[in-house]
Amino acid sequence: MTLLRQRMLHDMQIRNLADNTQKSYLLQVSSFARHFRRSPELLGPEEIRAWLVHLREERKLAPSSLGPTIGALRFLYRVTLKRPWSDEDFPLPKKPFRLPVVLSLEEITTFFESIASLKQRTILMTAYAAGLRVSEAVHLKVSDIDSQRMVIRVNQGKNRKDRYVMLSPRLLEILRLYWHDAHPREWLFPGDIPGHPITRSAVALACRIARRRSGIQKPITPHSLRHYVPFRVMSCSRVIARIPGQMRNAG
């Protein structure tokens, strides 16, 4: 590890940046340096501009995909190397505005009914009903479900912040049904490796399979589910209504 890379890593650790952010920033800076075959300390705004043009024109990256690159370079030069450069030295392309693809109530109900695994259905419905990121949903623990106060505790979410989200009565029914079937101990959704939670990739795979089974042509991802706010309560209610009564009332 070079001295500069080590300094940047220490700066990120001191500021408590998420592990994935640290890995992404180091990878972006490494790619930048390899392209010019020089240390980043010897490069400046002109090379940054040329690198961004290369990513857009040669590698055909979308404007939204350049965010991590610009964030990494800003951190390197402003924080680690303490260069007094402005935002103009790190030009951020304007993202095109697009209306989100929204599923109808029938579509979202059909999607959930297409998930064969109770655990996979429950974790995706939790992300959907509580508006959780998939990384937050997979790291839920049994103790995070507070049925007395009707809230879910999200530990170290985005920007490493703890927060509470509302727990709807309908979602609580689903979680109770799942708990009586699986009896999870520590992690609410345990993975295949003992002592570890389910992986994000496993949830994404279940989402793709369910979308294919449902026959829905619109894109559906764990991330997009949390944006379907208008239909959350209604669709959760309809899915639960189709579960046999003796199973809904368990617990």
- What confidence tens digit (pLDDT) does each residue in 9-65 have? 999 999 989 888 999 999 999 999 999 999 999 999 999 999 999 999 999 888 888
Structure tokens at 246: 């003796």
CATH code of the domain made up of 3-89: 1.10.150.130
DSSP 8-state code for residue 190: B
Domain with CATH 1.10.150.130 in the chain: 3-89
Cα distances from 96 to residues 44, 68, 229, 249, in angstroms, run 28, 17, 22, 47
Query: Distance of CA 4 to CAs 16, 37, 40, 77, 81, Å?
Result: 18, 15, 9, 11, 9
Rounded CA gap, 247 and 251, in Å? 9
CB atoms within 10 A of CB 49: 13
Query: The whole model's pTM is what?
Result: 0.64
Q: Which homologous superfamily does the CATH classification assign to the domain defined by 105-248?
A: Intergrase catalytic core (1.10.443.10)
Q: List, for the chain, all residue ranges whose pLDDT scores fall below the cut of 70.
A: 1, 95-100, 157-159, 227-251
